[in-house]
């Protein structure tokens, strides 16, 4: 990347529920999995009291958004029913909105019916790992309520996505997916889109690193970039460890992604991400003053 090149995303703020989130500085999306089987923290926050306690801890540590997931999307996972998903997440949304009314809540779902009920309970953002391709009703629901939507790329479905994923040119193919999805979703009335390249979702290790190395090209899409690499196999495989020991590797990756233009980090470890962003901002301000 030419060091003199400046990128200006078209969407510089997110507006939801009467609140505006300024994206001129990187933001943190804290992961709240209320699942029994997520790859790193499955079962830890399955109870309502544990989920609320963890959400409060992340907010105190600097999370700008809490991303609530009721279905594991780890490699090999099966897609659960909307009802099972709603049974897990709706009580959490209601309680968090009661205790932390100013918190911005994102819902990680690919079911339109789950999204609709979550919105009725107070959800602020919909994070769809299928980019709105799994459930045809998703786009209309989000457009009707004029909420931001995270559009992620995934080759296949969680159950099969890591069975020998293939690309001719992973960077260009994922970019083309987003060009088409952004055009379609905006035609359907969605105005606030966040692009997530889907690290680990239907990508081999070298695909993930190719995407990361060329992530600055995604700025041309004109949408904020989000990345979720926290404690994933693209970190653990390189440094030879397990997810529970992958905090340092994840932090190193987060700094690199910030330099490449990511504006939202989706993380398990909020305090460490907040510190990383603070250090990144000091470098960015020093570079601007040079």
- With bands split at pLDDT 50, 70 and 90, how would you rate the model's confidence at 1? very low
In the block, residue with structure tokens 């926290």: 230
Nearest of 164, 211, 282, 11 to residue 229 by alpha carbon: 211
The whole-number pLDDT of residue 43 equals 52
Distance between CA atoms of residues 161 and 154, nearest Å? 7
Q: Which residues are catalytic?
A: 232, 266
Mean pLDDT (whole number) for 206-231: 96
Percent of the chain clearing pLDDT 70 (strictly above)? 92
DSSP lists the bridge partners of residue 13 as: 22
Residue 8 in domain: no
**Token digits of residue 4:** 């003199």
Query: Which residues touch 252 (CB under 8 Å, ≥6 apart)?
Result: none
DSSP lists the bridge partners of residue 225 as: 195
The whole-number pLDDT of residue 156 equals 75
Residue 143 in domain: yes
Residue 1 in domain: no
Query: Which residues touch 127 (CB under 8 Å, ≥6 apart)?
Result: 67, 106, 107, 108, 109, 149, 150, 152, 196
Residue 110 in domain: yes
The whole-number pLDDT of residue 115 equals 98
pLDDT tens, residue by residue, 161-196: 677 889 999 999 999 999 999 999 999 999 999 999
Residue 7 in domain: no
Q: CB-based burial of residue 161 (10 Å sphere; 0-12 exposed, 13-18 middle, 19+ buried)? A: buried
DSSP lists the bridge partners of residue 17 as: none
Domain that includes residue 230, residue range: 13-289
Residue 251 in domain: yes
- Strand ranges across the sheet with 125-128: 193-196, 149-152, 125-128, 104-108, 65-69, 27-33, 264-267, 226-227
Residue 118 in domain: yes
Mean pLDDT (whole number) for 120-126: 97
Counted domains in the chain: 1
pLDDT tens, residue by residue, 29-86: 999 999 875 544 545 566 899 999 999 999 999 999 999 999 987 777 788 999 999 9
pLDDT tens, residue by residue, 101-117: 999 999 999 999 999 99
Residue 278 pLDDT more than 70?
Answer: yes
Q: What is the DSSP letter of 199?
A: T
The whole-number pLDDT of residue 157 equals 79
Residue 272 in domain: yes
What is the CATH classification number for the domain harbouring 126? 3.20.20.20
């Amino acid at each position: 990347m030419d060091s003199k090149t400046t990128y200006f995303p078209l969407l510089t703020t997110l507006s939801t529920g009467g609140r505006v989130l300024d994206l001129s500085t990187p933001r943190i999306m804290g992961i709240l999995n209320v699942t029994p089987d997520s790859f790193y923290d499955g079962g830890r926050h399955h109870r309502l009291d544990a989920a609320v306690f963890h959400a409060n801890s992340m907010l105190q540590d600097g999370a700008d958004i809490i991303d609530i997931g009721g279905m594991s999307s780890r490699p090999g996972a099966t897609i659960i029913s909307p009802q099972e998903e709603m049974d897990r997440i709706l009580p959490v949304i209601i309680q968090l909105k009661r205790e932390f009314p100013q918190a911005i809540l994102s819902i990680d779902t690919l079911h339109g019916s789950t999204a609709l009920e979550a919105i009725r309970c107070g959800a602020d953002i919909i994070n769809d790992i299928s980019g709105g391709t799994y459930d045809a009703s998703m786009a209309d629901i989000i457009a009707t309520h004029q909420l931001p939507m995270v559009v992620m790329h995934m080759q296949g479905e969680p159950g099969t996505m890591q069975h020998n994923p293939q690309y001719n040119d992973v960077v260009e193919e994922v970019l083309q997916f987003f060009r088409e999805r952004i055009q379609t979703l905006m035609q359907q009335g969605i105005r606030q889109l966040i692009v997530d390249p889907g690290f680990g979702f239907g990508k081999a290790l070298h695909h993930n690193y190719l995407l990361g190395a060329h992530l600055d090209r995604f700025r041309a899409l004109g949408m904020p970039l989000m990345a979720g690499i926290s404690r994933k196999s693209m970190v653990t495989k390189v440094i030879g460890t397990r997810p529970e020991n992958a905090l340092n590797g994840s932090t190193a990756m987060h700094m690199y992604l910030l330099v490449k233009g990511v504006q939202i980090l989706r993380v398990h470890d909020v305090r460490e991400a907040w510190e990383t962003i603070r250090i990144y901002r000091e470098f960015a301000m020093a570079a601007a003053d040079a």
